Amino acid sequence: MALTGENLIGATRSAEGLRRLRGIDPRTSTTLEPAFAEATSAEVNRAMELADAAFREFRLVPDSRRADLLEAIAGAIRSQGESIVARAASETGLPEARLRGEVGRTTGQLELFAKLVRDGSWVDARIDLGDPSRTPAAKPDVRRMLIALGPVVVFGTSNFPLAFSVAGGDTASALAAGCSVVVKGHPAHPGTSELVAACVLAATKQTNLPDGIFSLLHGSGHEVGVELVNHPLTRAVGFTGSLRGGRALFDAATKRAVPIPVFAEMGSTNPVFILPRALEMQREKLATALHASVTLGVGQFCTNPGVAILPPTEEANEFKRSLSELVRETPAGPMLYEGIGLAFEEGVKRMAAVSGVALLARADGSEQAGTTFGRSAVLTVSAGDYLDHPELGDEVFGPSTLVVDTQSRQDILRLARSLEGHLTATVWAADGEIDEYQDLVDILTDKVGRLIFNGMPTGVEVGPAMHHGGPYPATTDARFTSVGTAAILRFARPIAFQDAPETMLPPHLQDKNPHGIMRLVDGVPSREPVTRQEDAA
Amino acid sequence: MALTGENLIGATRSAEGLRRLRGIDPRTSTTLEPAFAEATSAEVNRAMELADAAFREFRLVPDSRRADLLEAIAGAIRSQGESIVARAASETGLPEARLRGEVGRTTGQLELFAKLVRDGSWVDARIDLGDPSRTPAAKPDVRRMLIALGPVVVFGTSNFPLAFSVAGGDTASALAAGCSVVVKGHPAHPGTSELVAACVLAATKQTNLPDGIFSLLHGSGHEVGVELVNHPLTRAVGFTGSLRGGRALFDAATKRAVPIPVFAEMGSTNPVFILPRALEMQREKLATALHASVTLGVGQFCTNPGVAILPPTEEANEFKRSLSELVRETPAGPMLYEGIGLAFEEGVKRMAAVSGVALLARADGSEQAGTTFGRSAVLTVSAGDYLDHPELGDEVFGPSTLVVDTQSRQDILRLARSLEGHLTATVWAADGEIDEYQDLVDILTDKVGRLIFNGMPTGVEVGPAMHHGGPYPATTDARFTSVGTAAILRFARPIAFQDAPETMLPPHLQDKNPHGIMRLVDGVPSREPVTRQEDAA
């Protein structure tokens, strides 16, 4: 597949504007071919109008055809896997093995949503049967299910150029719900975006679904994204990125004449609490595990542990020494693009300059090319100074962590209470030790979307029970996840049908329950058909 | 129970401020005793701090104790029913029979949520079992459920002084979820609010739950409400009322440093579509039913049908004559308070002044007392003029309806397409006729929260399948209902526990499933216990 550098408005290629953007290989700082046309306002508008028209048709097709589409997209991506991996490697600097894994995760997600849609029970169907003989007024028959919201705008994400980009979790869950999708591609991997978009469009054609359920637009600044969020036909937004970017989209979306939901996953520092006996018994293992999690993928994960809280025990210093040693020996690695590399370097410097903070170790890397290479760092601070400087809670995106020393159990609880919302918190405890820290667990439960025991926050399983979200500022909406099958709930809303004739009901709500889905019938879960009480009148 | 006119900050009565408000009997325009103290900023702050402290304890109590609380509140309200009804009648002008019905609905809702909480399955528990032998990395055990959001601010509603006020659906669902609640009482029924609040506080004490899970504050202007929404400890807001009021709260909540969700149900015009054969066959029955729905409770329901679309058939004129006759003969009735009466009168005048609109009939009522009495009205307009004047889509709260004449099937579809979001739409069709209007049903499905067939929108059943919500401007969040058991979902968010020891898990997620709730185990609904694969390591 040759790259053309055009926007894809449904199946139509379009490059009307004059502005161009290009990928850059962060490993070599080489500019890549071709140039990509940034979308104009007219192109934004055409994509949204086409998405709206396509949505009206798409939301009514049987579930099985939406499942077919998702599987066809997965198949197309798999068949183009090697060319996608090659281009993504040159645009992101991520190792090919990691990108191959991401192809697997992306196609796996699509297939998981296909299975969910084929099963059909996700619509949370509920039937309250009527009673025509009830007095003083007949009880109506009320049936409720989730339906698609409408055209969704998805922002491609830099740190998962496949799994959270053009055909990633947001797109897969929105299509699964029956929404049409307009992707604003991430400017750091435009070629990868075009290759994946071509797979989505081929699958759309192959499954004979309406043109316009998917479009890809390019843009390097904020304009294209803001125009998409402000477009009157847009009904929801999916975004993963910085707090500043996510909040700006949220503010725009909530100021609209008709406000729309923005699901922005904006990252966090994912605090790791190490309890005394755990440190005593597994000091070296813990240093190795924390180092691995901090430096995985050059630290470019939303769940990167940016802060570790040590217990007030003598092993703390030895732990810091071991961690420092590991950090010092970590090879510098290419970060996704120059902006991220610069921001990381600045973030480490800013943190090191805060009163009471000491830089314990920094990986060497002066021989490496340019500023896009990230050198791991570990810093330390006392609990008192951490609490006095709330700016130390800001995320530094990249391979660094801040180790906080405590002097007491109270320090640990105080630190926990001071936390803002996070995607995750982690607690390391020795056998039985956790039971002495129920209070810590209770505090953390109120702060995070996922609480991990004796593990590391990086590595997010994709399944029905995963919750990748959390209270603000981790996300703009703590009630929804962006990973796992529950992500589909972001793009649906309930509707109730009252006394509807059988022919007007979607199959999910029909008496005979043709797909055998799980429904709540008069409040009780059941896969059985239902029988209406006929009105005697 | 004697009224004291104080704010209730948990069990503590407080009246620090100088501002006072009073109830007024809308039937006689008589000012009622006593005066009620409007809350000061210090009292707002104390109520929220107490709510936050109480929440930390309350969210951890067993489900059965929350159910006990809800049942105790219902019992207390029932035992005080007659004094509550008497006071509510004098403060709202609503007939005692209606208010007795509302006592039943309020206690019924509380008991429904008690049952839901006792059952426990509402938490949407999901367990993805781990696999320590998976390669390359062990699969973690991930378990997810819904937990309470935190302190919730509820605004009492004027038109349901019991069922959507102090211990109404918002409060019941928030307490059921495990949230603490601070109610801003509606200034039109402060005495009713105090009586009901006393029931909630007595039940809190009786069930030995923490003081501060419930408070009642009074305020006549916007200040108290805005301070509550802006308070840093507030985590969510429930509101039913006007578009202007709901949007103002939404705007305040989304501008916060930490934005919070506002569930504002802001009403709509609930269009009723009458298809040709339905009108032909049931003309008089339909006129009677529409009139009854328009004038029920002096038109003061969120689901009042403010617009009716007639088919392009000759029966339309006869239908309008019958409806006009009924409207003309409707006795004027006291509206909830003077402001609502004045706004209704102004709304009818504003609508009648729009080009192309004709006032068909107005109930007489000149002999009735003052401006608080609502005189029913029916107006008419052509489809063309309706479409040319979007302001005709604005809700006029009260006993009026606008009948729209159409000239073609296309007119009907055009009107449907022009609709904004509504709580409900209704279609009247003769046997088999609906199948010719699948296109109309598809359009309406995308516009509303509830679609009614051959019924009227007033009368909202309270059950698991009810959805009382709808796309903006019907509500600020189309994904949630304010009526029925699903209303609890507004006040909860998911959390996932990864590799958690059994002792750290809430019962809903424990291996043995002690309460036998329905859970999604590896994606499959089940009430069975689960078995962990032990790590061989």
CB-based contact B455 A140, cutoff 8 Å: yes
Which residues in chain B touch residue A258, judged by CB atoms under 8 angstroms apart? 420-421, 471-473
Q: Which residue in A404, A409, A359 sits closest to A384, CA to CA?
A: A404
Query: What pLDDT, on the 0 to 100 scale, is given for residue A533?
Result: 83
Q: Is A525 on the interface with B (CB under 8 A)?
A: yes
State the first-to-last Cα distance of chain B, in angstroms, to the nearest integer: 66
What fold, for A7-266+484-489? Aldehyde Dehydrogenase; Chain A, domain 1 (3.40.605)
CB-based contact A493 B471, cutoff 8 Å: yes
386-425 in chain B: CB under 8 A from chain A: 420-421
User: Among B119, B472, B504, B527, which would you mutate to test the A interface (most chain A Cβ atoms within 10 Å of its Cβ)?
Assistant: B504
Question: Is there a shared CATH topology between the A7-266+484-489 domain and the A272-453 domain?
Answer: no
Which residues in chain A touch residue B501, judged by CB atoms under 8 angstroms apart? 434, 453
Question: Would you please indicate which residues of A are annotated as catalytic (active-site) residues?
Answer: 265, 302
**Rounded Cα gap, residues B470 and B395, in angstroms:** 15
- CA distances A444 to A372, A412, A457, B495, Å, are 35, 11, 14, 11
Query: What pLDDT, on the 0 to 100 scale, is given for residue A534?
Result: 72
Give me the catalytic one of B102, B194, B302, B395: B302
User: Among A142, A256, A270, which would you mutate to test the B interface (most chain B Cβ atoms within 10 Å of its Cβ)?
Assistant: A142
Which residue shows structure tokens 């979007």?
Answer: B390
Which residues in chain B touch residue A129, judged by CB atoms under 8 angstroms apart? none
136-155 in chain A: CB under 8 A from chain B: 137, 139-140, 142-144, 147, 149-150
ipTM for the predicted complex comes to 0.97
Q: Find the mean pLDDT for residues A145-166.
A: 97
Q: Is B358 on the interface with A (CB under 8 A)?
A: no
Q: Is B471 on the interface with A (CB under 8 A)?
A: yes
- Sheet strands (E) in A219-366: 236-240, 262-265, 272-274, 307-309, 333-334, 358-362
pLDDT digits (tens, 9 = 90+) for B10-34: 999 999 999 999 999 999 999 999 9
pLDDT digits (tens, 9 = 90+) for A382-437: 999 999 999 999 999 999 999 999 999 999 999 999 999 999 999 999 999 999 99
Shortest Cα–Cα distance, A2 to chain B (Å): 35
Which residues in chain A touch residue B121, judged by CB atoms under 8 angstroms apart? 525
CB-based contact A501 B142, cutoff 8 Å: no
Query: What pLDDT, on the 0 to 100 scale, is given for residue B366?
Result: 62
For chain A, what is the radius of gyration of the CA atoms?
25
What's the half-sphere exposure (Cβ side, CA atoms, 13 Å) at A406? 20
Q: Which of A140, A149, A495 sits opposite B445 (nearest CB)?
A: A495
Count CB-CB contacts under 10 A for residue B461.
Answer: 19
The DSSP bridge pattern shows strands A126-128 and B30-31 to be unpaired
Q: Is B433 on the interface with A (CB under 8 A)?
A: no
CATH 3.60.150.10 holds for B31-266+484-489: no
Q: What is the DSSP letter of B483?
A: S
CB-based contact A450 B56, cutoff 8 Å: no
- Closest residue, chain A, to B128 (C-alpha): A465
**Per-residue tokens: A35:** 């140039």
CB-based contact A478 B149, cutoff 8 Å: yes
Q: Find the mean pLDDT for residues B450-476.
A: 97
CB-based contact B467 A495, cutoff 8 Å: yes
Give me the catalytic one of B71, B91, B227, B265: B265
Q: Confidence band (pLDDT; 50, 70, 90) for B534?
A: confident
Helix (H) or strand (E) holding A512: none
Total beta-carbon pairs less than 8 A apart between chain A and chain B: 197
- Closest residue, chain B, to A505 (C-alpha): B441
**Per-residue tokens: B309:** 């679309």
Which residues in chain A touch residue B498, judged by CB atoms under 8 angstroms apart? 450-453, 455
Q: Confidence band (pLDDT; 50, 70, 90) for B537?
A: very low
Q: Is A354 on the interface with B (CB under 8 A)?
A: no
- The amino acid that residue B333 corresponds to is G
pLDDT digits (tens, 9 = 90+) for A256-304: 999 999 999 998 999 999 999 999 999 999 999 999 999 999 999 999 9
Q: Which of A127, A461, A498 sits opposite B453 (nearest CB)?
A: A498
- Closest residue, chain B, to A451 (C-alpha): B497
Query: Chain centroid to CA A440: how far?
Result: 27
pLDDT digits (tens, 9 = 90+) for A443-478: 999 999 999 999 999 999 999 999 999 999 999 999
Q: Which of A441, A449, A525 sits opposite B518 (nearest CB)?
A: A525
Query: What pLDDT, on the 0 to 100 scale, is given for residue B500?
Result: 98
**Per-residue tokens: A377:** 């760092």
Q: Is B472 on the interface with A (CB under 8 A)?
A: yes
Q: Find the mean pLDDT for residues A360-372.
A: 77
Q: Find the mean pLDDT for residues B191-218.
A: 98
Q: Find the mean pLDDT for residues A7-11.
A: 98
| Phi, psi of B379, rounded to the nearest 5 degrees | -125, 165
Query: What pLDDT, on the 0 to 100 scale, is given for residue B372?
Result: 86
Query: What pLDDT, on the 0 to 100 scale, is given for residue A237?
Result: 98
Q: Which residues contact A385 (CB under 8 A, 6 or more apart)?
A: A354, A355, A356, A357, A392
Query: What pLDDT, on the 0 to 100 scale, is given for residue A535?
Result: 59
- Closest residue, chain B, to A130 (C-alpha): B461
Helix (H) or strand (E) holding A37: strand A36-37
59-98 in chain B: CB under 8 A from chain A: 59-60
- Closest residue, chain B, to A434 (C-alpha): B504
Query: Chain centroid to CA A53: how far?
Result: 27
**Rounded Cα gap, residues A279 and B455, in angstroms:** 67
HEC string for B168-188: CHHHHHHHHHCCCEEEECCCC
- CA distances A83 to A77, A104, A197, A337, Å, are 10, 14, 13, 21
Is residue B368 predicted with pLDDT exceeding 70?
Answer: no
Q: Which residues contact B329 (CB under 8 A, 6 or more apart)?
A: B363
**Rounded Cα gap, residues A449 and B217, in angstroms:** 32
Which residues in chain B touch residue A418, judged by CB atoms under 8 angstroms apart? none
pLDDT digits (tens, 9 = 90+) for B135-171: 989 999 999 999 999 999 999 999 999 999 999 999 9
State the first-to-last Cα distance of chain A, in angstroms, to the nearest integer: 66
Q: Find the mean pLDDT for residues B183-206.
A: 98
Q: Which residue in B413, B443, B333 sits closest to A52, CA to CA?
A: B443
CB-based contact B498 A522, cutoff 8 Å: no
Burial (CB count within 10 angstroms: exposed 0-12, middle 13-18, buried 19+), residue A318: middle
Q: Which of A259, A471, A522 sits opposite B472 (nearest CB)?
A: A259
| pLDDT > 90: percent of chain B | 96
Q: Which of A451, A481, A501 sits opposite B497 (nearest CB)?
A: A451
Q: Is A495 on the interface with B (CB under 8 A)?
A: yes
- Closest residue, chain B, to A496 (C-alpha): B450
Q: Flag whether the pTM goes above 0.90.
A: yes
Shortest Cα–Cα distance, A223 to chain B (Å): 22
Q: Which residue in A433, A396, A242 sits closest to A307, CA to CA?
A: A396
Which residues in chain B touch residue A504, judged by CB atoms under 8 angstroms apart? 434, 438, 441, 453
Which residues in chain A touch residue B52, judged by CB atoms under 8 angstroms apart? none
Q: Is B477 on the interface with A (CB under 8 A)?
A: yes
Domain ranges of chain B: 31-266+484-489, 272-453
Contact assessment for residue A152 and residue A175, using Cβ atoms and an 8 Å cutoff? no
Helix pair A190-206, A81-92: axis angle to 10 deg: 160
- CA distances A52 to A46, A48, A136, B418, Å, are 10, 6, 44, 15
Q: Which of B137, B465, B501 sits opposite A143 (nearest CB)?
A: B465
CB-based contact B466 A254, cutoff 8 Å: no
- CATH code, residues A272-453: 3.40.309.10
Which residue shows structure tokens 């004045």?
Answer: B342
Buried b (16+ CB within 10 A) or exposed e, B71-81: bbbbbbbbebb
Query: What pLDDT, on the 0 to 100 scale, is given for residue B370?
Result: 62
HEC string for A431-491: CCHHHHHHHHHHHHHCCEEEEEECCCCCCCCCCCCCCCCCCCCCECCCCCCCCCHHHHHHH
CA torsion, ordered A444, A445, A450, A455, to nearest 10 deg = 50
Q: Which of A140, A464, A469 sits opposite B126 (nearest CB)?
A: A464
Q: Is B459 on the interface with A (CB under 8 A)?
A: yes
How many helices and strands in chain B, by DSSP H and E?
14, 25
Q: Find the mean pLDDT for residues A129-138.
A: 94
Contact assessment for residue B378 and residue B326, using Cβ atoms and an 8 Å cutoff? no
Q: Which residue in A224, A217, A403 sits closest to A316, CA to CA?
A: A403
Query: What pLDDT, on the 0 to 100 scale, is given for residue A372?
Result: 86
